[in-house]
Amino acid sequence: MNSRSRYVWAYFMIAPTLLGTLIFWGWPVIHSILLSFQQSENFGLVNHWVGFDNYAKLFRDEEFWQNLRNTLYYVVLFVPITLALSTFFAVLLNTKIKGLSIYRVIFFLPQVTMPAAAAMVWVVLFAQDFGLVNHILGTREAWLSNPNYAMFVLVIVGVWGAIGLNMLLILAGLQGIPKSLYEAADIDGAKRFHKFRYITIPMLTPTLFFTSIILFIGATQIFDSIYLIIGKTNVALPSVRSLVYAYYQNSFVYFNPNYGAAIINVLLVINLILTGIQFALQKKWVVYD
């Protein structure tokens, strides 16, 4: 086979993925960048250029800065907690106990539950009059509409939903650690904690790095739980409203897709910068064999 036909063949094989990525990811990104420099009318059938107007308006918008702070606050709470708990449960489920696969299924269940259905259950759990949370704690707190608590409710729901998949990824990472390392440590008389600290953690860092990036990007895009659990007539909305929520509202509810596109492009830039920083920092802590 000559090299030319090999290239053709290779491109043909990746074509479905490549085309899918370009059409469903590439084009929307370009389109949303273009949109943010335009003003659209009549459902986007008429567009005219307005330069940086949307961005100028955005940076003067107090609500935008509040939404940005909310989003980052959520990320700062959500990512470390999820990572720590996922690792914790993965290590527990990496031992030989009875009914191991049942536990694994239980922890993975939230991942395959419909987010909307799960959100409705959480709403009932946190309800003021008849919620289980108030019943157990003996309180009469309006968890969902108290600006001080609403964000924590969202973090709890988010962590609950995210542990399953991340635990599975970390579990796979754990099982990839060669047994011989632990055997050698046993011979040297290492304690359980030392084995965890000096073998498990370092060998797990590539997985942890990958999971943290995925978690991080996912967390900046929080939308559905705000929409479903908090809702638009909630007094606590301003203290939890995220950038993606604001994007949805502007694009699809207020019919201002251009302003929405500007919001989402700011998030894109933030994500690119922060992911770049994470990649730069990984040299300091990630161990590849």
Residues that bind other proteins (CB under 8 A): 1, 5, 8-9, 12, 42-45, 123, 127-130, 142, 144-145, 147, 231-238, 249, 252-256
| CB of 224 vs other proteins, minimal distance in Å | 14
| CB of 70 vs other proteins, minimal distance in Å | 15
Q: Which residue, 79 or 123, is less far from other proteins as judged by CB?
A: 123
Question: How far apart (Å, rounded) are the C-alpha atoms in residues 72 and 274?
Answer: 11
Question: Which pairing describes strands 46-49 and 38-41: parallel, antiparallel, or unpaired?
Answer: antiparallel
Q: Tally DSSP H helices, then E strands, for the chain.
A: 14, 2
| CB of 124 vs other proteins, minimal distance in Å | 8
Q: Which residue, 4 or 284, is less far from other proteins as judged by CB?
A: 4
Q: Which residue, 5 or 17, is less far from other proteins as judged by CB?
A: 5
| CB of 253 vs other proteins, minimal distance in Å | 5
Q: Which residue, 12 or 288, is less far from other proteins as judged by CB?
A: 12
Helix, coil or strand: residue 38: strand
Between helix 150-175 and helix 100-112 the angle, nearest 10°, is: 130
| CB of 21 vs other proteins, minimal distance in Å | 18
Q: Which residue, 127 or 214, is less far from other proteins as judged by CB?
A: 127
Question: How far apart (Å, rounded) are the C-alpha atoms in residues 115 and 152?
Answer: 18
Angle value at C-alpha 238, between 233 and 239, nearest 5 degrees:
125
**Residue 231 dihedral angles phi and psi, to the nearest 5°:** 85, 160
- H-helix or E-strand containing 40? strand 38-41
